[in-house]
Structure 1
Amino acid sequence: MAQRYLDLASVDPDADWSLPAWLYTDPEYHAVEIDRIILPSWQIVCHAGEIAQPGDWRTIEYLGESVVVVRGDDGEVRAFHNVCRHRAMRLVAGDAGCTRKLVCPYHAWTYELDGRLTGVPMRRDYPALDLAATGLIAVELDTWRGFVFVRLTDDGGPSVAAMMAPYDHEIAPYRFDDMRPLAPMRQRERRVNWKNVGDNYSDNLHIPVAHDGLSRLFGRSYAIEAQPYVDKMSGYLVERPSTDFWERFYQAHLPVADHLPVANQRLWLYFKLWPNMAFDIYADQIDFMQWLPLTPTTSLLRETSYALPDDRRAMKLARYANWRINRVVNAEDTKLIEQVQQGMASRSYTAGPIGRSEVCLRSFAAKIRDRIPEARLHRPPPPGWSRAPRAVGASA
């Protein structure tokens, strides 16, 4: 197992410690984390191919907000708060749809696809109404290789392209822009803090212990590294036939993907994008996962798969085998993170030592501590700490 080491200890005195347990259960800390980490971060909504025609829209709901992304008559994709400016009614309901205009189902206020308010029944009844100033509230939007992202607040952080730049050349051959969804977006609640999902995703040391299937497929080729905003994990399929039927089937029958270099044909790539999204990239398809915080101890997982159009029977079977393999991996991970979450609630645990090889966990923890200095404390400060400026010392 290979790693790219990053000596954080030279710049961060807490680099050799994991994030403390109270960060995974404490309501006051959770509120600060939402404000400083999640609100200013990019969140994926959909692929541009899913809103290809004027009027096509998709929504995402998180942190009590609903955002609608819609393609305008001019071909531009825009994002708005899914809230009517009259009485706060949701303009659209559900995950997806198509419409010529955004018409409020409460009082029929009507908005163009570019957000302009153009229709108000009994308009003269509203002396305070300024039509031009009462359009939909825009949400910041970004696109990267065909995927559409939004963020609710702007803290000056980098674009998605800037965050992914260290690996963009590795992703380019997969033709993300041309991909289409293989299935609708799945949403599942998990009884874990959102960070536990991401921690597990980037944890290299549990692979040979908890994932027999991945160990059979990768042998000793699994490797990890960390860049400022992206973690990378990878493994090559070994030639030795697996003892598991679906793993062996996938090894033997995965067809050649003509758009990929030879070196990528049997490579599995994993990228975790700060702070809570991931792409699993295979020669046959890509899987997307996002973990959104609900409460200090629950999260919502949004998952789906994308692929280039390919009607070959061999490719369809390979994708099914891929699903069978990763269904087992996901079940193993779910059990792990739920048990870790239970352990985080124990009075016996504060923080654990973190190895130099755990480069992704160290990188993530450093970014959390940089944005929330209280995250350095191994035990929670007195209640009300988030509302009173205070000096934060080293781990205690």
Structure 2
Amino acid sequence: MRTDTLEHLRRTMEAQLIRAEHPDDFPYLPPIPASRYTDPGFAKLEHDGLWMRAWLQVGHVSELPAPGSYFLFEQLEKSVIISRGKDGAIRAFHNACRHRGSALLLQHSGKAMRFVCPYHAWGYSLEGELKSVPDQHDFTCLDKAENGLLPVRCEVDRGLIFINFDEAAEPLADFMAPQAPQKEGYPIEKMVVKERLLIEMDCNWKLALHNFLEIYHVATVHAKSIAPYLDSPSFVVALFANGHMRFATRKKKGNTIFEADLYKPDDVADVFSQCTIALPTFPNTFFALDPGGFSLQSFWPAGPDKSIMEVRLMGWDVDSDADREHWQAMNGIVRNILSEDLCLFRSIQQSLEQGTIPQLRFGYQERALYWFEEEVDRRIGADAIPESQRVAQVLSGQMQR
């Protein structure tokens, strides 16, 4: 993290710790319509205007350790092969044979030096080229060069793999640029995925993500699990372009649940030991960088009232019995902490579906939630959203440049 950012962080934390009134220069946040979390029509707007156009974080390079390694992205009613080629490049392809559409790969992850359709054995290279067709003489005028696997845009940022279904979307580097300086001094690209969790939730994906965009609930919901580690009154928020954010909170005990007497690289900046630095990444990813490792969380829709939380526990590239035991224990700890949140989500969804609560209200500590909702509308396009469901654009003056 840059020196000017650190100085700004210290100033804003000191100001936050002595704040006793609503900031004079902060605008009123209008209520958010509840139908944004219940209406199938709004979910369709999100699918077309957001999910099919945004850069989506789908994994980490450590999940593809060698040529032929692959895993499947299976969200948003899509199946996409993410694989490492013989040249080391990471590529993405729709998991569909060009013959009659059968899925090529049926296992979530593995290794395959060629993609062979299990239906009629059409074979494709790791670069997506159609290489073999049984009884090819029966396919008049078949041009193999024109029938390779259909690619999906795929780029890597600091070890994190992203895909985008929109060929016209901006480069990933441009999309991530507003947030990029916040990761300086933390070598995410050197990490590995230690554990992976998939958690089904009975709520809209945005309601689940909201939970991780504020610290307001921590003292109540996580009184014994997380709150003892965080100096919550020091919590500060920075809003960036493209819907990204940065949260910072001083550590109360000098560590977090992820700290352990295990290996930590020397090139992790001190700020990550002093503060919990969280980097919500639009549209659906949250993680808080910590010297001991962190939980990389993505939130996916499975319907207006259903969603999936995908969690990767990220640690350092160490292979030892102590390290394995640590991350197995962390799996249980993280599940227990998440359960403290999850038990509340269904009741929130029901209140909105039943019309009990027609609007949600956000305060100053929840301004990140409002910024996120504003960006959802900016991505979809306000003109495409019914007026009764739009979010007023009021926070642009609060964005850090």
Aligned residue identity for 2:215:
N
Q: Cα gap change, 1:319/1:104 in structure 2, threshold over 3 Å: closer, same or farther?
A: closer
Alignment partners' CA distance in 2, 1:215 and 1:275: 26
Deviation at 1:79?
A: 0.7
Distance 1:32 1:186 in 2: 28
- Which one of the candidate residues 216, 219, 223 is aligned to 2:228? 216
Query: Within 5 Å, which residues of 2 pair with 1:306-385?
Result: 306-310=314-318, 326-370=334-378, 371-373=380-382, 377-378=387-388
Given that 2:263 and 2:316 are in contact with CA atoms closer than 8 Å, whether structure 1 keeps it comes out as: no
Instruction: State the 1:311 CA deviation.
Output: 6.1
Q: How far apart, in 1, do the equivalents of 2:362 and 2:391 lie?
A: 20
* Partner residue in 2 for 1:49: 62
SS in 2 for 1:295: coil
208-217 or 22-31: bigger deviation? 208-217
Q: Deviations over 1:25-71 (max 9, x none)?
A: 11122112111111112222222222132211111012221000111
Answer yes or no: is 1:79 the counterpart of 2:79. Answer: no
Q: TM-score, normalized by length of structure 2?
A: 0.82
Q: CA contact under 8 A between 1:368 and 1:375: conserved in structure 2?
A: no
Distance 1:341 1:26, change over 3 A: same
The residue matched to 1:273 in structure 2 has which SS? coil
Q: Unmatched 5+ residue regions in structure 1?
A: 10-14, 380-391
Higher mean alpha-carbon deviation, 265-274 vs 73-82, is at 265-274
Match of 2:190 in 1: 178
Judge conservation of contact 1:45–1:58 (CA < 8 Å) in 2: no
Deviations 1:115-140 (A, max 9, x none): 11111111111124221101110001
* Native 8 Å contact 1:255 1:314 kept in 2: no
Q: CA deviation at 1:108?
A: 0.7
CA change 1:361–1:191 in 2 (3 A) is: same
> CA distance change for structure 1 residues 236 and 67 in 2, over 3 Å: closer, same or farther?
same
Identity of matched residues, %: 26
Who is 2:9 aligned against?
A: none
Residue identity in the other structure for 2:308? L
Other-structure match for 1:287: 295
Total equivalences in the alignment: 370
Deviates more, 1:345-354 or 1:317-326: 317-326
For 2:93, give the aligned amino acid: F
From 28, 31, 54, the equivalent of 2:41 is 28
Call closer, same or farther: CA 1:238–1:393 in 2, change over 3 Å.
closer
CA RMSD of aligned residues (A): 3.2
- Structure 2 distance, partners of 1:27, 1:232, is 31
Structure 2 counterparts to residues 1-396 of structure 1, below 5 A: 2=16, 16-154=29-167, 156-157=169-170, 159=172, 161-183=173-195, 185-212=196-223, 213-219=225-231, 220-228=233-241, 229-239=243-253, 258-310=266-318, 326-370=334-378, 371-373=380-382, 377-378=387-388
Q: Is the 8 A contact 2:32 2:391 kept in 1?
A: no
Deviations 1:242-290 (A, max 9, x none): xxxx96xx77968865332333224322211111112232110121111
Q: With structure 1 as the length reference, what TM-score do the two structures score?
A: 0.83
